[in-house]
């Protein structure tokens, strides 16, 4: 009888631990956060290719206002498609917490000050809306809520090689990620 109880307890423990350490084929996530001069929303998709390593695809939409001088703000929006690779740096044994590093390429469109090209001091905004391209790197901190959902903090730095408003754009956001088979 004692051996049966011990066996059933061990079987239950293995079943519970396996439910938290399942491997999934893909994950979908949404982040809401801040950029250098405004706010942004990111939609993520990860396709797992080797353990916790994945191909990462995301779309970032930002709404920002560059503060030029007192009273002058230049509005701009970025819409970028990001394609990269994400690798796991650290994961607890029960997979409750993990840290992932990602890097890749970015391409998109930057919309610059569509409403008013003249500043209050008479200066003109010479930047134009155009296609932008570059690279990104970032880190994800994942906290497991249940076996399919994580709360995650994403912090990325984007390098836009041909932007008129600045080459380095940070994004940090909090979101939820859903893992699917």
Q: Residue 118 carries which DSSP code?
A: B
CATH of 24-180, one of 2.40.160.20, 3.30.1360.10, 3.90.79.10, 2.40.50.140: 2.40.160.20
Cβ pair 121, 44 in contact under 8 A: no
Statement: residue 102 has pLDDT above 80: yes
Statement: residue 15 has pLDDT above 50: no
Note the pLDDT of residue 148.
Answer: 93
Q: What is the distance between the alpha carbons of residues 124 and 154, in angstroms, rounded to a whole number?
A: 36
Q: What is the distance between the alpha carbons of residues 37 and 132, in angstroms, rounded to a whole number?
A: 18
Note the pLDDT of residue 100.
Answer: 96
Residue-wise pLDDT tens digits, 23-82 = 679 999 999 999 988 999 999 999 999 888 999 999 999 999 887 777 777 888 999 999
Note the pLDDT of residue 7.
Answer: 53
Note the pLDDT of residue 23.
Answer: 66
Q: What is the distance between the alpha carbons of residues 35 and 39, in angstroms, rounded to a whole number?
A: 5
Q: Which residue, among 2, 159, 9, has the nearest Cα to 78 in the 3D structure?
A: 159
pLDDT band at 5 (very low <50, low <70, confident <90, very high): low
Note the pLDDT of residue 4.
Answer: 58
| Predicted TM-score of the model (pTM) | 0.81
Q: What is the distance between the alpha carbons of residues 109 and 128, in angstroms, rounded to a whole number?
A: 11
Domains of the chain, residue spans: 24-180
Q: Which residue has the higher pLDDT, 120 or 168?
A: 168
Note the pLDDT of residue 16.
Answer: 46
């Amino acid at each position: 009888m004692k051996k049966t109880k011990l066996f059933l307890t061990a079987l239950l423990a293995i079943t519970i631990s396996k439910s938290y350490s399942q491997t999934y084929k893909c994950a979908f996530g949404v982040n809401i956060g801040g950029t250098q001069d405004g706010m942004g929303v990111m939609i993520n998709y990860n396709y797992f290719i080797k353990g916790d390593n994945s191909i990462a695809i995301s779309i970032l939409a930002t709404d920002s206002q560059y503060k030029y001088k007192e009273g002058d703000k230049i509005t701009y929006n970025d819409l970028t498609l990001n394609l990269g690779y994400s690798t796991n740096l650290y994961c607890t044994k029960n997979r409750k917490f993990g840290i992932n590093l990602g890097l890749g390429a970015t391409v998109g469109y930057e919309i610059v000050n569509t409403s008013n090209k003249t500043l209050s001091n008479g200066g003109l905004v010479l930047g134009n809306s155009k296609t932008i391209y570059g690279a990104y790197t970032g880190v994800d901190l994942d906290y497991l809520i249940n076996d399919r959902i994580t709360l995650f903090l994403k912090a990325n730095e984007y390098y836009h090689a041909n932007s008129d408003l600045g080459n380095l754009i940070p994004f940090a956001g909090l979101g939820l990620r859903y893992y699917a088979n």
